[in-house]
Amino acid sequence: MYNSRLITSGLCGALMATLSACALPKQPLLTYWKEKLHKDSAPLQTGVKYEVRKALASNIPFRPSAIKRYTFVFNEPKPPLMVASNLHRNSQMRVRTTAYTHNESDHIVYGVKNAIGTNLKFGSIRSAAADWSRFPVGTQFRIAGQPGVTYVVDDYGSALVGTGTIDLYKPSRNQMDDWGVRHVDIEVIHWGSYEKSMELMRDRTKWRHVRTMMEGIEARLRTAGMPTGKTPFTAAL
């Protein structure tokens, strides 16, 4: 249950009229009360229910039933997007890559759809799958020797979790087999968002590899001293 605080706004006519005959500081009365209210007021706290009422002027009869009350709760500000570039300094690296296609036995149930619900891409922009706790969704990179081609991480796979391997989408089995396993030099041109990664995985925590990726994201953020908040799957475990 929320605690309740009262903030009174408007004219303090009745109070000021009552105190007009009292001994007050030599400064003007209105200035005195403005400074006092400012001094006594504490910063708003998150999760506390505050009540706001308009004070009645001295010439208005007091009728409790006629007073309108308004309440509000100050919510904790949402943290900014947790961008991976805050944690990753190197934009160039050598990685192990494999290839996959949409009609493999472990992907056929998803067809040409990726983990974010759009179609897998192959062209100047190509889809890639990775462990989102290492290469979060939205990460874009280029492979040395492939000018004009940009890969974007929009997919993941259970076999990739816990590894630094990136799986490159190919539209056919022949192209997948031709690629095989290769160690390549890549340049990351844009790091994706950990927050977006966790948001997309929020309703998929029945899968162990999804929980592992979310735990990996939290561990990276804690190491970097960034706020992690309450993860969506914590209560379900």
Closest CA to 13 of 37, 29, 28, 35: 29
Alpha helices in 11-145 (DSSP H): 13-19, 29-40
Q: Where are the domains of the chain?
A: 4-73, 84-223
CATH hierarchy code of domain 84-223: 2.40.40.10
The pTM (predicted TM-score) of the whole model is 0.61
69: which 2 tokens?
């009350």
Instruction: Please give the full DSSP string across 111-156, using - where no structure is assigned.
Output: TTB-TTSSB---SSEEEEE--TTTS-TT-EEEETT-TT-EEEEEE-
* Per-position pLDDT tens, the chain of length 237: 444 555 444 434 444 444 444 444 455 555 555 565 555 566 666 667 766 666 666 666 766 666 666 676 666 555 555 566 556 667 899 999 999 998 866 665 667 899 999 999 999 999 999 999 999 999 999 999 999 999 999 999 999 999 999 999 999 999 999 999 999 999 999 999 999 999 999 999 999 999 999 999 998 888 776 655 544 333 222
Q: How many CB atoms lie within 10 A of CB 117?
A: 9
Question: Residue 64 in 3-state DSSP?
Answer: helix
Question: Judging by beta carbons within 10 Å of its beta carbon (0-12, 13-18, 19+), is residue 83 exposed, middle or buried?
Answer: middle
